[in-house]
Each structure stands twice: as C-alpha cells, then as structure tokens.
Amino acid sequence: MKILTTIEAIQNYATSCKTQGKTIALVPTMGALHEGHLTLMRAARKKCDIVIASVFVNPTQFGPNEDYDAYPRQFEADCEKLESVAVDAVFHPEPTEMYPEGYCTYVNVEGDITHKLCGAQRPGHFRGVATVVTKLINLSRADEAFFGQKDAQQVTVIRRFVEDLNINVHINMVPIAREENGLARSSRNSYLSTEEKNAALVLSRSLKQAKAAFSQGETEVTALENIVRQELGKEPLAHIDYVKAYAYPSLKPLKQVNEDTLLAIAVKIGKTRLIDNVILSA
C-alpha cells in the first residue's frame, strides 16, 4: 500500500491511475479505523479498480471546545487494517499540507440542511466537512466516494454540494456497521468506560423500539420521537442533544412518516457525544 503525505504525491498517483484508464474510489476517514470503516473500504473495493483511503483529522470541522486534540490518532494500526482490505493507497497529510499559511477558501452549504441536527449543535462543522471533502475528491480524482449512514446528514450535505458545484463523482452511502450488541461503530466509542459502553446501548435500543412501533403502524413523527426519548430517559448516564425525525434525504420537516424518514439522535454518554439513526422506509 502506498503512503502519500503530500498534495503533489496524491495528485501524481491519481493522474497515473487515470492515465492507465483505472477507476478510483475514495474513502475519506479521520483514522482510528474500525469495522465500520472497513465495510466502506470493502464496498469501495468492489466498485473500483483503485481504492484510496484518507486518514486526516480535519481541524476545520471541530469547534473550539470539541475533541480535536483528544481525537484518537493511531496511523500505524490504521495502515495494517487498510492493508488487510487491500486498499491501494492512503493519503495522510499534515494539517499544514491541507491548510497552508494564507489558506482562506471554504465550501459553505447554506440553507436548511446544515442548520439542523448536528449542524445546530456544531456551528461550522459542515463547512469544515464540505471543504475537506471537496479537496479530497479533487485531489484523488475519485469516480466514487463512500460514506457511512451513521452520518446521514453529512451524506445529504455532501450530495448537495457535489450537485451544486457540478463535481463529477458518485456518492455512495453504506449502512451503519454495528457491534453484535447493537452499538453503532464509532471511533469515539474508544472514549467510553465499560460502564458507559453498557449505557450507550440505549441509543440503538431506543431506535429499535421506534422502528418496531413504526412496523406495527405508528406513523406519527412526534409519537415515534417520544418512544425514543422515553427509552433514553431511562438511562441515567444518557443526556439527549437531539431526537428528531425528518424526511430523508431532503431533511424537510414532516408530521407523518409518509416518505422515507430519518430518525436521528445525538446523545451524550458522560462526556462522549454519540450519534445514531435509523431510516424508516414508507
């Protein structure tokens, strides 16, 4: 597996792949790789000749009081995992390579889709995501890019700017990878103590209950949100940031589940903020 750390190196690599007529898949990550990321890599491997992963903890998507400094960094272990799923190249730049002195250009997706859910809780977050993902797609000359459903709002935002800016890439959303006990896989799970990890199971459990109620005929959005809130309320270590349902992928408000609907939650377990969701298919 090639390790690329400079803009010049990834540009040269992508150009040489394209010259040979190869298709390129990009899987952007912030490292601390787990089975969820590897699921994305495998999906990418199936679809394209070349798979480029990026491992970059992107400073512009973290707020001043968020976990940028604490975010787990374990590049050597990440490389072993990437090699195990036959990734061709990993792009691992320094922050100054991506944002050198004088850098001042950002991709800002305006409007409703960035102002709710995680966008409301984390001002500036999606501006940082949109900026770095634009740069990564551009640098890698990707035909296909892969993201997880756990960040379903992120996928909507990325699809929006890809369409608006006429970027020639197809965005793939891969279902959430879960541990056997239901916990959605996340690099931030590594912050949880054993007790907190146990408590965190309430996220998937609450969504499962809402999904079951929906299968049994409950279509009122407020009722479904309340089922989730009630279950989360039973866990003393859980503090709700939001429990919200929106039409998916538009993220428009709705009263009844009469089109595909994202039921999304963000919950703090101790100091760790976790997200999870389910898509209810109408």
Could you list the residues that contact ligand PAF (CB under 6 A)? Answer: 28-30, 58, 61, 129, 132-133, 151, 154
In terms of CB distance, is 154 or 206 closer to ligand PAF? 154
- Give me the least distance between CB of 263 and ligand PAF, in Å please: 20
In terms of CB distance, is 30 or 203 closer to ligand PAF? 30
Asked if 267 contacts 203 with a C-beta cutoff of 8 angstroms, the reply is yes
Q: How far apart are CA 253 and CA 280, in angstroms?
A: 14
- Give me the least distance between CB of 235 and ligand PAF, in Å please: 26
| Coil/strand/helix, residue 276 | strand
Around Cβ 112, how many Cβ atoms within 10 Å?
Answer: 12
Please list the residues that pair with 4 across neighbouring strands.
91
The sheet carrying 272-280 orders its strands as 238-247, 261-269, 272-280
- Give me the least distance between CB of 27 and ligand PAF, in Å please: 9
- Give me the least distance between CB of 194 and ligand PAF, in Å please: 25
List active site positions.
37
In terms of CB distance, is 28 or 93 closer to ligand PAF? 28
In terms of CB distance, is 184 or 199 closer to ligand PAF? 184
The sheet carrying 144-148 orders its strands as 2-4, 89-91, 50-55, 24-29, 144-148, 170-174
